[in-house]
C-alpha cells in the first residue's frame, strides 16, 4: 500500500481500494467473486478494503457478510434511515404492486411529496425529480448557466459532485484523470483545522471566492455561480461553525451568481443542527440538489429551485426524465421523510454525534495521531497526523487504520486531499449504544498502526 | 391545436401535450392536479393529452384512472413485461427487505445478472450499471471518444438519446432548443416509406454516413463513431428490413469508429425477430446501452461494451455510480429477463405484432389517411398523410387522432419529424385479444378526424 502522503487531488475513489495484488491472499469464494467482477464489470469498478466484504444483509446501522459475521456500518448514507427500513420496504412494495409510470400522466403522489419536501426549504418553490445526485447536479449546472448567462462555476478543490460528463468536469477531485471545464474556478475549502479557527477559515474562503468571481468576470466567462457541499465532505469534512461560509455565499449573490447547495451528503437531518446542511449555515441557496439518502436505497433524486432561477431553462428546454418522479420513487421518498420525523432522527443525530465526538476527543488525549475531531450531528471527520504541531497528514497510516477497523468489524472510509481524514457517516439509525464499539475499535486500530 | 405541418425537429416531447389553455375545460380534480403541477414542478413538466389521464393502477397492458375507467396501454415500454408484474414486485420486495447497497462491497447478484445479460450479447464482454438510459449514453459517448481519440459522433436527425448535458447535445430532436455538440454529424434516418424501399433507404443511409465520416475526418474532429436506435423510434419508427443498415455500420467500423446501439427502445425482445434490435440487423456494435424496459419500472440501466473499447476509459477514470448495480436493481433486472423467457414474450411479440399490422393494413385499405404501416414485433408505426401520392404529413390530424384514441380508452403517442406517425409500443403483455380493440378504436378515431 502506498504510504506516500499525497499533496492534493487524492481521488476520493482510490483512498480505500482493493488492489489486484491483494487477490492471492483471499479465501476462495472472495477470490472467485473478485475475479468475476474484473472479468464482467471491467476496470472502473473498485472494491473497498484489501479483504473486500461480501455484504448480504443489513438492518439499522448493521450489516452481515456471507459468513454471518456482523459489522457496524459507519459509512453508508444511502441507507440513511437504516438498512432495509421496513417503512420504505413496505411503501415501495405497495406502490410497485399498483403502478410505476412516468410523469406525463397525472398522479397525486408527486405533488404531495413535492409539497412536503418544499415545505422544508423556505425560499424555494419548485422541484424536478431525477434518478441520481449526478443527474440532479447535471441539471443544476445547466439551469444556473441559463439563468445567469455566465459559464463559470466555482467549486472546492476536492469536491465531487457526480459522474456525468458535465458534472465530472466540475468535480475537482477527479482532476487527476478528467479534464475540468474550461470555465471552472477552484477554491480551497474552509479548513478550520489548518487555519486555526472557523473564523479564519471563513475569511480565507471569502477571499478565495472573491478572487474566483473577479477572475470569471474579468475573462468574459461570466459568473454562473457556486456549487458546494456545505459539509465539504470530499474536502475532508469541514463543518466548521454555523455561518462560517455565509459571507462568501452572499458575495456570490451580490455578483448575480446562482448558489447551488449539493445536499447529497449533509441533507435529510444528518448534521443534526438543521434539516439541510445549508440551513445550518443560514444560507439561502437558489438551487438545492438531493441524492443518496432521499429514497433509503431506492434510486431517487431531485433538484429544487427558486421559480425565477428555474424558469429560463425549464420553459425553453423539453427536459424529461423517464423514471424520475414515478409513484414508486415518490412512495420511497415520502416514507423516508415520514420516518425521519416519526423517529426524530435529526434530534438523535445531533445528540448521538455530540456523544461520539466527545468520546473521540477523549481518545485523542491518549493518541497524538488524532490531530482533529470535527463534525456536526452524525457526520464526523477524524484527521490523522504524524506530527500534531506540523499537522502532517498520516495518509498511509489512515488507510491502514481503515483496514484495522474493518478487521474489527467497523466499516468506514477516508476523505480529504491526502486521504488522511476518517469519514464517519453512519446511517442515522446509529445510536449512542454504538458509540463505545466504534471508539474501542478505533483505539485498537490506532494502537495497531501507530 | 397547431395543425401546421412541421418540416423537421418537431420535438418528440411536444407532439402530444396538454396546453395551459386546455385547463378551463377540465373537471375540478384534474384542474386542481394540473395547477398544483404547474406551481410545484415548473414549466418543464408536460402532460399527455388535452384531457390528461390520472393513472392510478396498472396490470399487464391495462391501466385504470382515478374514476376506475380502464385503458388499453399501447405506449409504455417501461412496464415492458406488463404493469405491476408480480415477479418483479416480489423480487424487488425480497431484496429491498434484505439489502440495498453499492458496488464497493462484493455481491453475487450483479455478477449473475452480468453473466446472464452478456450471454445475450455475443461479442460484448463487460457491462457497467447505471440508473437511466441517459446515464448509460452519457457514459457511452465518453467511452467511445476515449477509445478512438475522435470527437465526432454521428446521430440521426430526430434522435433522442437522453437528458444529460452531453447526451442532449447529441440528440438532434432537441436542436430547436439545445445547442448541439460542435462535432456532432447529423444524418437522415433510413425512411423506406419515402425512399420507396428498404434497399433504397439503406443505400441513402450508407451515403449519408459516408459523407458524415469524411467530413469528421477532414475537419480534424476525428470520428468517434455512430450512436443509433436501430428502430429509429424518434425518427418515426423505421424498422425497414433486417440488414438494411448493416453496410453503413460496417463503414463506421472500417473507419475506426465505435458503434453504439441504443437499445432503450427496441431491446428486450420487443422487435420479436431478435432479442436486441441490433441483432435483427445482423450488427456487431462495440457498445450497447440499455434503459427503460430493463427493470420494468425499477430504475436500472446499463452500458455493455467490448473489453478493448471500454478499457481506455475505465482504467483511467474513477467512474462510480452509487445506485447503479445495487442488489435491488439487479433483482428487478433479473426478474425481467426471467419473465421474458418464461412467458416467451419475444415470440409473442413477433406473432402479435404480425397480427396487429395485418389488421392495420386491412384498415388502411378503407382509410386513405393511413399512408404506411410499418414495424417489427410489438413496435409499430402508422404514418398518417393528407395525400397518399405526395405523402404529405397529417401532423395536426395525427394529434387529433391521439386525442380521439384517448377518448376511446386507448393510450399512445406520435413520433417522427412532423409528429405524424402513431407510435404503437404496448407492453409486451399485449395479446392478440387486444388487437381488435386497438384497431376498432383507431377506425373510430380516423372517422372522427378525417
Q: For residue A7, is pLDDT > 50?
A: no
For the stretch B100-133, pLDDT in tens is: 999 999 999 999 999 999 999 999 999 999 999 9
The per-residue pLDDT for B151 is 98
Cβ within 8 Å, pair B84-A104 = no
- The ranges assigned to domains in chain B are 20-81+345-449, 86-342
**Which pLDDT belongs to residue A362?**
98
Does the structure show a pLDDT above 90 at B4? no
In the numeric block, which cell numbers belong to residue A63?
450489516
Calculate mean pLDDT across residues A313-332. 96
- Inspect the interface and report whether the beta carbons of B101 and A118 lie closer than 8 Å: no
pLDDT at B1: 28
Distance CA A283, CA A74 (A): 28
Q: How far is A178 from chain B (nearest CA, A)?
A: 7
CB-side exposure of A104: number of CA atoms within 13 Å?
21
Q: Which of B54, B105, B299 sits opposite A54 (nearest CB)?
A: B105
What is the predicted pLDDT for the residue at A14? Answer: 54
pLDDT (tens digit per residue) in B270-290: 999 999 999 999 999 999 999
How close B13 gets to chain A, by Cα (Å)?
6
**Residue among B41, B111, B322 whose CB faces A292 most closely:** B322
What was the pLDDT predicted at A182? Answer: 98
The reported pLDDT for the residue numbered B12 is: 42
CATH number assigned to the domain covering B20-81+345-449: 3.90.1150.10
What share of chain B in percent tops pLDDT 90?
A: 95
pLDDT, tens digit (0-9, with 9 covering 90-100), for B384-414: 999 999 999 999 999 999 999 999 999 999 9
Taking an 8 Å cut-off on Cβ atoms, the answer to whether A310 and B42 are in contact is yes
Q: What pLDDT, on a 0 to 100 scale, did the predictor assign at position A318?
A: 87
For residue A53, which residues of chain B lie inside 8 Å, CB to CB? 105-106
Of A37, A44, A325, the CB nearest to B314: A44
Is 80 exceeded by the pLDDT of residue A4? no
For A96, which of B30, B52, B297 is closest by C-beta distance?
B297
What Cα–Cα distance (Å) separates residue A105 from each residue in A165, A206, A225, B53? 30, 46, 34, 5
* Residue pair A178/B155 in contact by the 8 Å Cβ criterion: no
Q: Which chain B residues touch A165 with a CB distance below 8 Å?
A: 138, 141-142, 164-166
Q: Which CATH number fits domain B86-342: 3.40.630.10, 3.40.640.10, 3.40.50.300, 3.40.50.620?
A: 3.40.640.10
Contacts of A101 in chain B (CB under 8 A): 55, 58, 63, 76, 78-79, 83, 297
Check if B20-81+345-449 and B86-342 are the same fold.
no
pLDDT at A374 over 60: yes
Q: Which residue among A40, A134, A311 sits closest to B43, beta carbon to beta carbon?
A: A311
> CB contacts < 8 Å between A and B, how many?
321
Q: Which of B97, B103, B297 sits opposite A328 (nearest CB)?
A: B297
CA–CA distance, B273 with B437 (Å, rounded to integer): 25
> What's the pLDDT at A412?
97
- CB contact (8 A) between residue B42 and residue A166: no
Which of B27, B40, B68 has the most A C-beta neighbours within 10 Å, making it the best mutation to test the interface with A?
Answer: B40
3-state secondary structure chain B: CCCCCCCCCCCCCCCCCCCHHHHHHCCHHHHHHHHHHHHHHCCCCCCCCCCCCEEEEEEECEEEECCCCEEEECCCCCCCCCECCHHHHHHHHHHHCCCCCCCCCECHHHHHHHHHHHHCCCCCCEEEEECCHHHHHHHHHHHHHHHHCCCEEEEECCCCCCCCHHHHCCCHHHCCCCCCCCCCEEECCCCHHHHCCHHHHHHHHHHHHHHHHHHHHHHCCCEEEEEECCCCCCCCCCCCCCCCCHHHHHHHHHCCCEEEEECCCCCCCCCCCCCCHHHHCCCCCCEEEECHHHHECECCEEEEECHHHHHHHHHHCCCCCCCCCCHHHHHHHHHHHHHHHHCCHHHHHHHHHHHHHHHHHHHHHHCCCEEEEEEECCEEEEEEEEECCCCEECHHHHHHHHHHHHHCCEECEEECCCCCEEEECCCCCCCHHHHHHHHHHHHHHHHHHC
Report pLDDT for A444. 98
Are A81 and A428 within 8 A, CB to CB? yes
Question: Taking residues A212-234, what's their average pLDDT?
Answer: 98
Average pLDDT estimate for A95-124: 98
Q: How confident is the model at residue B240 (pLDDT cuts 50, 70, 90)?
A: very high
**Residues whose CB is less than 8 angstroms from the CB of residue B247 and which lie 6 or more positions away in sequence, other chains included:** B202, B206
A40:B118 CB<8 A: yes
CB contact under 8 A, A165 and B163: no
pLDDT digits (tens, 9 = 90+) for A403-417: 999 999 999 999 999
Which percentage of chain B shows pLDDT scores above 70? Answer: 97
In this structure, the strands spanning B413-415 and B70-73 are unpaired
* Average pLDDT over every residue of B308-313: 98
pLDDT at A17: 83
C-alpha cell of residue A16: 480505500
The predicted structure's pLDDT at residue B110: 98
Mean pLDDT computed over B17-37 = 93
Distance CA B184, CA B170 (A): 7
Cα gap B89→A341, rounded to integer Å: 28
CA–CA gap between residue B407 and residue B430 (Å, rounded): 20
pLDDT tens digits for B136-182? 999 999 999 999 999 999 999 999 999 999 999 999 999 999 999 99
pLDDT for residue B63: 98
Query: With 60 as the cut, is the pLDDT of residue B301 above it?
Result: yes
Write out chain B residues lying below 8 Å of A42, CB-based: 126-128, 305, 307, 310-311, 314
In A149-197, alpha helices (H): 165-168, 192-195
The pLDDT assigned to A20 comes to: 85
Q: Chain B: nearest CA to A366, how far in angstroms?
A: 33
Contact criterion met (CB < 8 Å) for B323 and A79: no
* Mean pLDDT for chain B overall: 95
Whether B450 shows a pLDDT value over 50: the answer reads yes
Instruction: Give the gap in angstroms from C-alpha A320 to the nearest C-alpha of chain B.
Output: 7
**Cα B155 from Cα A95, distance rounded (Å):** 37
Inter-chain contact B99–A135, Cβ cutoff 8 Å?
Answer: no
Sign of CA dihedral B178, B183, B189, B195: positive
Q: Between chains, do A54 and B321 touch, taking CB under 8 Å as contact?
A: no
Rounded CA-CA distance B106/A34 in Å is 8
- Going by C-beta distance under 8 Å and a sequence separation of 6 or more, which residues neighbour residue B67? none
Q: What are the tens digits of pLDDT across the range A186-197?
A: 999 999 999 999
Cβ atoms A261, A228 nearer than 8 A: yes
Which neighbouring-strand residues pair with B155?
A: B186
Amino acid at each position: 500500500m502506498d504510504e506516500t502522503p499525497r499533496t492534493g487531488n487524492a481521488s476520493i475513489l482510490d483512498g480505500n481500494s482493493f488492489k489486484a495484488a491483494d487477490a492471492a491472499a483471499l479465501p476462495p469464494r472472495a477470490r472467485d467473486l473478485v475475479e468475476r467482477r474484473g472479468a464482467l464489470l471491467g476496470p472502473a469498478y473498485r472494491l473497498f478494503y484489501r479483504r473486500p466484504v461480501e455484504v448480504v444483509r443489513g438492518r439499522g446501522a448493521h450489516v452481515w457478510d456471507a459468513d454471518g459475521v456482523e459489522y457496524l456500518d459507519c459509512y453508508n448514507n444511502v441507507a440513511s434511515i437504516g438498512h432495509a427500513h421496513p417503512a420504505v420496504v413496505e411503501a415501495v412494495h405497495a406502490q410497485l404492486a399498483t403502478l410505476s409510470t412516468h410523469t406525463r400522466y397525472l398522479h397525486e403522489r408527486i405533488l404531495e411529496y413535492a409539497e412536503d419536501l418544499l415545505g422544508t426549504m423556505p425560499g424555494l418553490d419548485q422541484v424536478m425529480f431525477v434518478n441520481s445526485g449526478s443527474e440532479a447536479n447535471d441539471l443544476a449546472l445547466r439551469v444556473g448557466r441559463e439563468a445567469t448567462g455566465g459559464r463559470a462555476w466555482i467549486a472546492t478543490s476536492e469536491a465531487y459532485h457526480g459522474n456525468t460528463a458535465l458534472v465530472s468536469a466540475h468535480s475537482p477531485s477527479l482532476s487527476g484523470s478528467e479534464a475540468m471545464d474550461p470555465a471552472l474556478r477552484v477554491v480551497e475549502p474552509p479548513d478550520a483545522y489548518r487555519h486555526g479557527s472557523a473564523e479564519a477559515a471563513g475569511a480565507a474562503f471569502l477571499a478565495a471566492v472573491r478572487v474566483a468571481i473577479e477572475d470569471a468576470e474579468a475573462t468574459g466567462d461570466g459568473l454562473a455561480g457556486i456549487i458546494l457541499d456545505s459539509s465539504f465532505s470530499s474536502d475532508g469534512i469541514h463543518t466548521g461553525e454555523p455561518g462560517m461560509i455565509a459571507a462568501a455565499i452572499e458575495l456570490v449573490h451580490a455578483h448575480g451568481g446562482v448558489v447551488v447547495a449539493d445536499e447529497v451528503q449533509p441533507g435529510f437531518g444528518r448534521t443534526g443542527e438543521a434539516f439541510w446542511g445549508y440551513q445550518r449555515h443560514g444560507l439561502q441557496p437558489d438551487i438545492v440538489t438531493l441524492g443518496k439518502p432521499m429514497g433509503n436505497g431506492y434510486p431517487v433524486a431531485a433538484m429544487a429551485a427558486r421559480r425565477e432561477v428555474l424558469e429560463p431553462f425549464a420553459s425553453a428546454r423539453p427536459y424529461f426524465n423517464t423514471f424520475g418522479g414515478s409513484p414508486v420513487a415518490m412512495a420511497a421518498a415520502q416514507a423516508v421523510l415520514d420516518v425521519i420525523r416519526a423517529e426524530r432522527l435529526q434530534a438523535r443525530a445531533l445528540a448521538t454525534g455530540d456523544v461520539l465526538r466527545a468520546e473521540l476527543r477523549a481518545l485523542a488525549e491518549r493518541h497524538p495521531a488524532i490531530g482533529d475531531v470535527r463534525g456536526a450531528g452524525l457526520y464526523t471527520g477524524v484527521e490523522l497526523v504524524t506530527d500534531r504541531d506540523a499537522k502532517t497528514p498520516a495518509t498511509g497510516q489512515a488507510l491502514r487504520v481503515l483496514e484495522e477497523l474493518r478487521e474489527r468489524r467497523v466499516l468506514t472510509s477516508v476523505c480529504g486531499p491526502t486521504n488522511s481524514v476518517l469519514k464517519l457517516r453512519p446511517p442515522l439509525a446509529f445510536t449512542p449504544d454504538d458509540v463505545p464499539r466504534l471508539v474501542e475499535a478505533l483505539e485498537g486500530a490506532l494502537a495497531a498502526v501507530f
